[in-house]
Chain A
């Protein structure tokens, strides 16, 4: 069993009488890129907030794992082990791109007294932070925009900075909440390609025997995007067959679909036929109100990957 980065067990949530999430169980292995899809109202944002820690679920637990550790840390609030990139309001408007990325290490590793009273040491540390941040920004393709303010950057560039800002913290998992929804097609594709290149780095690390650096959960509306970018797609839905399980009313959304998705190389042409079939499968299972699959019907990721290693599981081969 490969090391985990995130574990969700028995997560239920309801707002007053409104049951939103029911018994959500997800394990995410270090180095995966998981696409999370679901119809509106299925509780994707509730689930995301539970992982992020800005919401306490009615019951259940979320745990994260540092690399090399098999002890999970329970999530009680937002922390540096879970990074987030939102669709909008991505960056601090009063900081340049470089400072936006460098502010993470600054906030995490230093305190006011240190910065004020030990200024020489802080200066040195700050230079290191800036170097690290510059390197990361270059990696996401923004080497030339280090000194620009967010209002001077295009939407796509802002999201790249936001991703770098989150990744510089080396979180156990990076959460992307519909990050490319406000962008045009071409920009979106560029950013998707950037995520795929991160995945390549994951595989390279695995092959070298190191922990893959980037674990990503991307929540998206776009089925194409989930299949293209992710090596695994999880579908959350309230449209499932809960009759006969002893519920009085709709118990809420749960994981209805959990299967591997093909791994693409960045810049490789998208073969639409390849994922058309999977698209239709997901749509039917997850999005169609009239179709109510049984709970385990499309959930067979672990069995499949045990039988035939795929994606990150197949890297050390």
Chain B
């Protein structure tokens, strides 16, 4: 496994099990009956009827409600905490502060940096100061407000570009510089000398906040020494490992359940401090405790996509050959190390053929909430810079931007040691089919030549992408059970974070065992009853779990054939499954219903175990993409209306066309937010506090902000070398090129290049006015 993969996506500092090798000899699907079809979700009924119990829905008898008092300052030291009044208030059952002995616990922000659970030193607005459990949520908040705290407010730094300036406030005792990463291949000086055109530009992206619809948190309950946690998480095993480690409990005493969860986008890959606090409150009161954060807390305390400032210099020959790329980026983890620059240079390193590349990224501290992985960490930022630069280069050498990209498609990963080839590279198909279906060349001419009016301009733009992971990895172990009547049960540890994981896995079982996917019973995301799985994220869930599910179903099938062979007096190798019958391949009159197989009736069930095999040696599995859009820009108001969007994605085999398309649309919409409306605003001059910690002021796209005309055009190249399901990841690539494609379209429409997100009317009007001076 790639080292970066581990650092980003899986339970950090937690040992990961290795699953055994699966049985060999599995052939890829040639034609499928179920897989790939547009099937509604197997759990749609539960979700639309209200019967699905999300962690925040859990209501237990005798349950208390918890709330957290958080530091209101960007940088402060807690000098005095008085909880007396709070403790005496109606309904209050427990109060925890930094002085509570049971809360004398270290919270690991990273492998090396730890602070007390309620540390006197609060390095960001939203740091935990105290917590309360009370009979009602209202009483809990009453008590939080009644706690008296004195803070020594300290100078702060909230702009990562000024973090390393002399005299900038120190976030920690050490320098504000967390780390610098350097990468180099070839000779950029030589490369720039060979170029016909060299351009240089600085780009910036604002900080984006995940804000999944379901708030972070859940319910915790002790039964003696055993702890059960219902948590809204992308990975129940990651939560289990961290909680067990911090509370010094055996893994068997920590059961984490997350059957449903209301979105995470990376912010729920890791357990949150609040889960530990809830467990302590529950212990202290001997009552179950519900700890669900408020919306405001989710804006400051549970992660973000960091802001980034990126300088990119690029050289190109007249024929479109890229000769050199030089990138330097500064980003911020926030107040604790959290991958503030992770992968922001990856696309510069690896998306296009280029022999000479140098990159440098610097991660710095600021007094703001720590980052967390956010849907394709680093990539939308990198695409914002690189894909606009490619557009500028194309214009400078008078080449179509699609052609310039086609000219530079790599078939191997240049940024990895030994230049390993990709199993499949669908980028060419994405670009060619996308351009043809979109009507790129015509639209480019037409929109530029015929503006609808003097102040309404139209333009088209496009951008492409790859996602550095998305191939999935071991470990994964899945169990499929066939009951004596031919119905089945699927048992897997992975969470379905809204991508339709359960549905796709059910379709695989249906494909192999002929059961109706709707009739399959699914048990998932429960550390007490399912097998270890890594958190769902990084576009790796389908390519990780699908092969294990298929292997488990195939194991069941093999065992079924062995039993049926005895009834049919045939060779098991000559049997096949047609509908609910086992049929002798050479003589179809010889057959037996699954429910009649003697051995199965006797045994009651067949249990098949499937393992995720290793990825192909010496090769890289990455998904690829290209997106095209048309916009209308109002030169008077600065409003950008997206008229249409087309997304072409090579994510290997399409497992379910309905959920695939839905995912593509969702990624584009999130990309529209990143590029056009979303930005954390810190009061950098006076208080350092976030001024827009609500959905009223931090704007995520509504139905009115997105085009009704979005098309998903999958480039279906089953990647049979990658894994036995032929699938690659989809969730990250769908949001990577979007913002840059829009920026390129805005440029095409107006001649104004927007280097900074968000492309808001305020920013654009100002830029238009300056251009007219």
Q: Do A and B come from one complex?
A: no
A residues with a Cβ closer than 8 A to B are none
B residues with a Cβ closer than 8 A to A are none
